[in-house]
Amino acid sequence: MITPNLSITKEDYVRAIYTLEEASLGTGVTQIADKLSLSKSSVSERLKDLVRDGLVIAEPYAEVKLTKAGLDIGKKLTFKHRTIEVFLNDVLKVPKDQIHEEAHRLEHAFSDEVIQRLADFLHNPTNDPHGSEIPKIDNWN
C-alpha cells in the first residue's frame, strides 16, 4: 500500500480521479462513478472521506480535484499499475486484454521498494503495453 492508513477502496478512488484528470475526461461525480462502476451516491459519500483525509477538493457541482497529497498517491499507484502491466505482458506474456485487472489487484500488494526494483528489472519502461505513459516518480517518500 502507498500509505498505511489508506484503504484499497480509497486508493481506487484516488487512482480513478488521477487517470480521469490525466485523460482530461472530467472529474465530476458522474465520471468517477462511471469509471468505478458505482452509483453517484456511493461516490459522493466516499468523496467526503477523501476530503477529510486531505486527498481531494470536492465542491458541490464542481470538478473533483486531487490535492498535492492525492496527486502524489495517484501518480505512484499509476506507476505501479502500469509497470506491473509491462511485466505481465512483456515477461509473463499475459495477453494485453487480460493485464489490466491483474495489475489492478497487484498494484495494492507491491511495496514501493519492490515496484522500484521491478521497474529497474524492466529497464524503466516509459509506456505501458496499451501506450499510456508511465509517470515519473521523483520522490518515493
**pLDDT greater than 70 at residue 2:** no
For residues 69 and 61, the model is more confident at 69
pLDDT at 141 over 70: no
Mean pLDDT of the chain: 92
61-79 as b/e, with b when 16 or more CB fall inside 10 Å? eeebebbeebbbbbbbbbb
Give the Cβ contact number of residue 124 at 10 Å: 12
Summarised one tens digit per residue, pLDDT across range 67-86 is 999 999 999 999 999 999 99
Decide if pLDDT at 1 tops 50. Answer: no
- Positive or negative CA dihedral for 129, 131, 132, 137? positive
Evaluate if residue 37 carries a pLDDT over 70. yes
* Calpha distance 135→18 (Å, rounded): 11
Instruction: Give the pLDDT confidence of 113-134 residue by residue, as tens digits.
Output: 999 999 999 999 999 999 999 9
- Average pLDDT on 3-24 reads 88
Q: Ramachandran region of residue 24, left (φ > 0), alpha (ψ -120 to 50) or beta?
A: left
Q: Would you give the end-to-end CA distance of the chain in angstroms?
A: 13
* % pLDDT > 70, the chain: 96
Helices (H), 1-141: 8-22, 29-36, 40-52, 68-86, 96-107, 112-121
Q: Enter the pTM of the model.
A: 0.90
Q: How far apart are CA 78 and CA 50, in angstroms?
A: 18
